Amino acid sequence: MSHLGEGIPALGSRLRERYGDACYALALLFGKGSFLARRGDDLQGPPVRHRVGTGIRGIEARLADAVRGDYYADLRAGPEPWLDSPQAQRGFGANVPRFVHRFHTAPLVPARDYDGFAFVARSSCSHPLAGPGD
């Protein structure tokens, strides 16, 4: 069972318990580009654009080097051996610290934690939906 910080079970592990093999856990990873998140511990401010490169330390860098462009891999079909070993995955949330967000990683074993992954070589920012009265 996959856990988040402090032993909190990840939602995906609960879905796996309930649905078994009918549950397909798909990771979405990206090489470089941009994303929206609030700065630091600002819980009220609007999300702002953050840019990241592919880097050299995480699984995203290895995936970018493995195949050029966007692709999908089904890990249930028998993954490459290195996908069965511990890797570092970049970790971004709704709030990210300025500049050092590039160094935040979380451990994972891709073939254990996911059934497949979609890799996007270059990400672009999402666009917030208009709220009521906008």
Q: How far apart are CA 112 and CA 75, in angstroms?
A: 9
pLDDT at position 134 is 65
Q: Is residue 68 part of a domain?
A: yes
Which CATH number does the domain housing residue 83 bear? Answer: 3.40.1660.10
Q: State yes or no: pLDDT of 4 exceeds 70.
A: no
Q: Specify the higher pLDDT residue, 44 or 120.
A: 120
How does residue 60 score in pLDDT terms, banded at 50, 70 and 90? Answer: very high
Identify which of 6, 8, 12, 98 has the alpha carbon closest to the alpha carbon of residue 49. 98
Task: Write out the residue range of the structural domain in which residue 68 sits.
Answer: 25-123
Q: Is residue 19 part of a domain?
A: no
pLDDT at position 73 is 94
Q: How many domains, the chain?
A: 1
